[in-house]
């Protein structure tokens, strides 16, 4: 075991006790990346020299009694949709979005203000749209549990880096499941915050009325710690609090009869409900609005807004786009203002219906992805392949969702989702942490170089 294996809480404690320096921690993390990055393709850029310099500065601050907070001296990775001052925001594309960023995105500024050390940029599906695509500047990130399988997207590098032990936490974005899908497929924890809680300034948009930024982390406590830093909140305040007496609605009917749902996924969700029940949580099955309608309403808004974001860039450089992203974004051209208005109205009605269904409970439990990660052979590079998930409706509702590992099937991770009312991230982390501690799903790690 090296300092790279320490969770953020333990590493922070060691830094303050003087038994570890940030410089030694960052050095160990860089060594781990050198060992494993060639097999994972998680990073698009690594700022080794700057990270070490920042670590030395963090050590000096602690020696002088200056402590910027729980992330002081600890490494964080940034999805390559998010601006870092002086660096190109590549967005996973050949299209030149702009020159080097002139300032840090607000989330990066907040991380630095809390003492975090920005280690590098992480892979994304092209413009966070769709993938994987082997015909882009960087080969796709690979699933640490089986490198012949995809990570899911679009926060692909963030999930690969965390699940592969390169980092304990990273930032991703989520417009229709882009934090939660790769968390499920790679065995990480992902937190999609309440819409509007985390500022999106300096982040390349996909669908501005759905986009959110959040952490992908190795544990619930580390996700909460990261979220606290970028949201100026305290989602970690209920970590470790008892969950007995809380009420969780199990939205089993939302996925159980879907022919695309693996039997192993269904069994893992039933087992998760049983585990929570044994912890004293009151579980009751709950019916939610029709999933297909919810997804259709969200998809119309997403594609229409994405087309508007890319319209001028596509006209200027159509050949710069990868085939998959081009196909997906161009589908928004066919949508009229009337189509979008109908979709927004439907989304609002479905949201009201979902929150009414939630009235008797504190949170929801449901599936995340309906299978394990697909192999790269399932993607031909010519046509868009949509994997089966239960994620987009929660972008429409804007409520917070915590994605958690729920088990394994054929040595590949599976995942679940816990959803709560807007602003209830702390409650989600309370329930998720209790579940995590009662199981060993999050504690398992893939076999990779350096172990």
Catalytic residues: 79, 154, 178
Instruction: Classify burial at 405, counting beta carbons within 10 Å of its beta carbon; exposed 0-12, middle 13-18, buried 19 or more.
Output: buried
Q: Which of 431, 420, 418, 413 is nearest to 366 (CA)?
A: 418
> Which strand (E) or helix (H) includes residue 192?
strand 189-192
- CA torsion through residues 35, 40, 41, 46, sign: negative
One DSSP character per residue, 83-131 reads --TTS---TTSSS---SS-SS--HHHHHHHHTT-EEEEEE--SBTTTB-
145: left (phi over 0), alpha (psi -120 to 50) or beta: alpha
d(CA 97, CA 328): 18
Token pair 């669908």 is at which residue? 207
Q: Which of 192, 43, 159 is nearest to 446 (CA)?
A: 159
Task: Measure Cα distances from 374 to 104, 140, 255, 271, 323 in Å.
Answer: 35, 13, 19, 23, 20
d(CA 413, CA 411): 7
CB 129 within 8 A of CB 324: yes
Token pair belonging to 68: 């910027």
Task: Measure Cα distances from 228 to 70, 107, 236, 429 in Å.
Answer: 9, 11, 7, 12
């Amino acid at each position: 075991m090296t300092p790279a294996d320490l969770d953020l809480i333990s590493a922070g404690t060691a830094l303050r006790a003087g038994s570890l320096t940030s410089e030694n921690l960052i050095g160990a993390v860089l060594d781990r990346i050198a060992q494993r990055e060639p097999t994972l393709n998680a990073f698009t850029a690594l700022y080794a020299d700057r990270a070490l310099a920042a670590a030395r500065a963090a050590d000096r601050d602690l020696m002088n009694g200056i402590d910027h907070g729980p992330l002081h001296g600890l490494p964080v990775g940034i999805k390559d949709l998010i601006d870092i001052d002086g660096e190109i925001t590549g967005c996973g594309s050949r299209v030149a979005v702009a020159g080097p960023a002139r300032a840090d995105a607000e989330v990066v500024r907040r991380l630095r203000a809390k003492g975090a050390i920005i280690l590098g940029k992480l892979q994304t599906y092209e413009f966070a749209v769709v993938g994987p695509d082997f015909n882009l500047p960087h080969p796709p990130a690979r699933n640490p549990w089986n490198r012949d399988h995809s990570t899911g997207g679009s926060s692909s590098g963030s999930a690969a880096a965390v699940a592969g032990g390169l980092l304990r936490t990273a930032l991703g974005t989520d417009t229709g499941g882009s934090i939660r899908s790769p968390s499920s497929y790679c065995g990480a924890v992902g937190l999609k915050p309440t819409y509007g809680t985390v500022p999106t300034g300096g982040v390349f948009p996909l669908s501005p009325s759905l986009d959110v930024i959040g952490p992908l982390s190795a544990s619930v406590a580390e996700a909460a710690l990261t979220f606290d830093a970028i949201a100026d909140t305290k989602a970690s305040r209920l970590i470790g609090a008892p969950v007995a007496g809380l009420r969780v609605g199990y939205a089993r009917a939302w996925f159980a009869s879907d022919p695309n749902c693996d039997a192993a996924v269904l069994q893992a969700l039933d087992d998760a409900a049983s585990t929570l029940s044994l912890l004293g949580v009151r579980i009751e099955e709950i019916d939610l609005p029709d999933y297909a309608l919810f997804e259709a309403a969200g998809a119309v808004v997403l594609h229409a807004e994405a087309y508007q974001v890319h319209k001028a860039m596509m006209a200027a450089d159509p050949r710069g786009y990868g085939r998959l992203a081009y196909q997906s974004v161009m589908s928004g051209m066919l949508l009229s203002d009337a189509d979008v208005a109908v979709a927004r109205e439907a989304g609002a009605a479905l949201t009201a219906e979902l929150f009414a269904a939630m009235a008797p409970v504190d949170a929801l439990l449901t599936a995340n992805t309906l299978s394990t990660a697909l192999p790269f052979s399932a993607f031909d590079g010519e046509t868009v392949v949509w994997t089966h998930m239960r994620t987009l409706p929660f972008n429409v509702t804007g409520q917070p969702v915590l994605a958690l590992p729920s088990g394994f099937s054929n040595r590949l991770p599976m995942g679940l989702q816990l959803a709560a009312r807007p602003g209830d991230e702390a409650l989600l982390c309370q329930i998720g942490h209790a579940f995590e501690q009662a199981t060993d799903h999050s504690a398992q790690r893939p076999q990779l170089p350096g172990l």
